[in-house]
Amino acid sequence: MAVRESERVGRPPVCLCVLCGLPAAGKSTLACRILTSVTEHGWRATVVPYDDLIPEDAFRSRVLEDGVKLQDRHTEWKAHRHAVLQCIEGFLERPEMLAEFPSSLLINRAAWERCTRALLQPEGLKSVEAPLLFLLDDNFYYSSMRYEVFQLSRKYSLGFCQVYLECDLESCISRNQSRPQPIPSEVILEMVKRLESPNPQKNSWEMQSICLKSTDNISKCDIQRVMELISSALSNPLSLAQDNTEQKEADRLKCATSVVHQADQACRRLISHAMKTARENQLPPKHMKSLAAQLNDSKGTFLQNLRTQFLQEAPFIQGEDVDVEHVVKRAVEVFNDKKKEILLGFIEEHKLL
């Protein structure tokens, strides 16, 4: 999609604010508090809740173990996330044409209509020229997920900012368990391993970011900080000019995601083969369960280290292809050695019993 310059100039200020952090860190609560303050500023605002917009099946499908199906489902899940940004983009271009909802069924139509209703018919506001604020409520645990929002903001010269809610793991798990429909604690534990919090020192595009300690209640001072951040983003929209450094970072993130994803598939197959070998050696159920847990923990640590090492050490020149297959092959050889070590330990222990 593209917007003519004349249309962009006449449009009211718009800001995309990313709320990120672990599940149950307090993102939805913060969003509600921000909406209250926004009314006092005379802005139009809405929350974009990814959990409501993306069908539950899209998340559940990611746990499939079959290698081919898992890859297909992972791609499908990314498509759901992309569809959310497409809907925001469509609204920016033609807000009056809300009835022409995208034909894609990748997101929940009723949930999206609730999002836009607050912008089209804001309570107590008559001016359609009031600034627009989108609060994107999701975990956004990879920086590459947040970068996609940044790219959309830059494409349309919007304001962009991020609020990271830092909450200790124990509190997140406790809050989650008190919810009507809690997610499995294992999902939160896995996300902790993968979480990449905003890092302005490393990523120049994350300069407009703040961190709130959300283990305790969000204070009025915290809300004030958020409102000041959003005001600054609205007053300083991103430039359409391309930044080679930022493009280089984006290419690196994209490549790292591909490397980790392919390595994940290969590691799952190795674990599956290890479990088959364990069964053939007649390991008792209790040992099988412990073996599976240790192998999966080792895989999670391995993938996180792989991603970090790739981003920090891999030489990357824009326009130069990276041999992802070669990188994955060499990395998986390391995990395979670790897998053999763990498996052999369990088998030898069983023989001694």
Residue pLDDT, tens place only, 13-72? 999 999 999 999 999 999 999 999 988 888 999 999 999 998 766 655 444 443 434 444
Alpha-helical segments (H) within 162-243: 169-177, 185-194, 220-235
Taking the C-alpha atoms of residue 6 and residue 130, their distance in angstroms, rounded to an integer, is 18
| 182, 208, 235 - which closes a domain | 235
What pLDDT shows up at residue 7? 46
Are residue 209 and residue 292 in the same domain, yes or no?
no
Higher pLDDT, 25 or 1: 25
210 has pLDDT over 50: yes
* Same domain as 327, residue 285: yes
- Give start and end residues of each alpha helix (H) in the chain: 5-9, 27-41, 50-53, 56-60, 67-93, 109-120, 143-155, 169-177, 185-194, 220-235, 244-280, 285-313, 324-352
Same domain, 13 and 160: yes
Task: Return the minimum-mean-pLDDT range out of 51-65, 129-143, 186-200, 217-231.
Answer: 51-65
| Shared domain check, 154 and 28 | yes
Q: Mean pLDDT over residues 143-162, rounded?
A: 94
What number of other Cβ atoms are within 10 A of residue 67's Cβ? 14
Q: Which of 55-69, 76-90, 103-117, 255-269 shows the lowest mean pLDDT across its residues? A: 55-69
Together in a domain, 81 and 33: yes
Q: Can you give the pTM of this predicted structure?
A: 0.66
| Rounded CA separation 130/43 (Å) | 5
For residue 166, the enclosing domain spans 5-235
pLDDT of residue 22: 94
Same domain membership, residue 252 and residue 213: no
Do both 159 and 20 map to the same domain? yes
Together in a domain, 231 and 248? no
Distances (CA, A) of 59 to 74, 95, 145, 163, 302: 9, 29, 15, 24, 23
Q: How much is the average pLDDT of 344-348?
A: 87
Q: Could you identify the residue written with the tokens 């919090």?
A: 197
Query: For residue range 32-45, what is the model confidence (pLDDT) as tens digits?
Result: 999 999 888 889 99
Residues 201, 259, single domain; the answer is no
Count of domains for the chain: 2
Q: What pLDDT was estimated at residue 65?
A: 41
Tell me the CATH number at 79. Answer: 3.40.50.300
Domain boundary among 212, 235, 258: 235
**Do 231 and 254 reside in the same domain of the chain?**
no
Measured CA to CA, the distance from residue 339 to residue 299 in angstroms comes to 9
33 close to 45: Cβ distance less than 8 angstroms: no
Residues 226 and 293 in one domain: no
Domain boundary among 235, 264, 297: 235
Closest CA to 18 of 153, 117, 115: 153
Q: Which amino acid is at 275?
A: M
The verdict on 223 and 197 lying in the same domain is yes
CA distance 18 to 280: 49
Q: What is the mean pLDDT of the chain?
A: 82
Query: Among 351, 346, 349, 339, which Cα is nearest to 278's?
Result: 346
**pLDDT (mean) for 69-77:** 50
